[in-house]
Structure formats: C-alpha cells, structure tokens
Amino acid sequence: MKINQIYVNLPVKDIPKTKQFWTNLGFYVNEQISDERAVCITFSDTIFVMFITEEYFQTFSERPVPKGDTTQVLLAISLNSREEVDKIVNTALENGATQHEEPQDYGWMYHNSFWDINGHGWNVTFTDISKMPS
C-alpha cells in the first residue's frame, strides 16, 4: 500500500490570520479547496494542512475541540538544513508564534520548535543520516 497524499485537519479560530501566518512562512494556499471556513496550506506535493474553523471542524467529529491550553498532537516536519529549520522557526516567532522549547543539537539531528498562532505544536528538524550514531 502507498499513501498518495496526507491531509492534516486542525481547528482554528481565525482563517484570515491563519492564512497570513502560513504564507508569511513561505507556504502557499490551495485556493481550490479553501473558503471562509477552511484554508488549505500546501507543505509539499503530497502534504497538505487544512486549517478549519472550530465550528466547521465540529461537523467532522463528535468530540470537543481541544482548548488552547491542551495538546493532542505535535506535528513534525523535516527540512534540508539547520539554517532552514531556524529560518522557519524564527519567521514563525516574528509572526506571532511562541517558542515551544529551546533548539536541540544531537550532532546528527537538529531540532527547533514553535507553537503556532492557534496553539498547534510544530517540531522542525534536520537530520544528517551520515552522522547518525550506530
């Protein structure tokens, strides 16, 4: 079995602010499947994040939307260099995100993270497999 695409669905309070936040980080919107209730941010050719208003999100699940002081999921994305990791995290912080934890350097893996403007946790990593301990 091969998964062709992944769509991560996350509840948000404000679509325009969310759209602006992610486009400021360098991602683009798939306008074909975005409207006033949801914005689709394209992370790659196969990875998409649907940021959906809390009200509309509730139509997909009978479970309550988590409050801003809870964590149900941490999302991890991998980039091509330490510099890219720090650039996206620093840009996120400049656009209203908060630092999740201090950067961590394991020699073979570098990790930095932030809470986005909606309270979702993002771990951003760069891994150099050639330096991975055996």
- Structural domain of 45: 1-62
Between 69 and 112, whose confidence is greater?
112
80 and 131 in a single domain? The answer is: yes
24 and 5 in a single domain? The answer is: yes
Q: Which residues pair with 40 in a beta bridge?
A: 50
Q: Among 20, 43, 62, which residue terminates a domain?
A: 62
75 and 29 in a single domain? The answer is: no
Mean pLDDT of the chain: 94
pLDDT tens digits for range 11-33: 999 999 999 999 999 999 999 99
State the first-to-last Cα distance of the chain, in angstroms, to the nearest integer.
Answer: 30
Q: Kindly report the CATH number assigned to the domain that includes residue 24.
A: 3.10.180.10
76 and 128 in a single domain? The answer is: yes
Domain total for the chain?
2
Q: Which residues pair with 130 in a beta bridge?
A: none
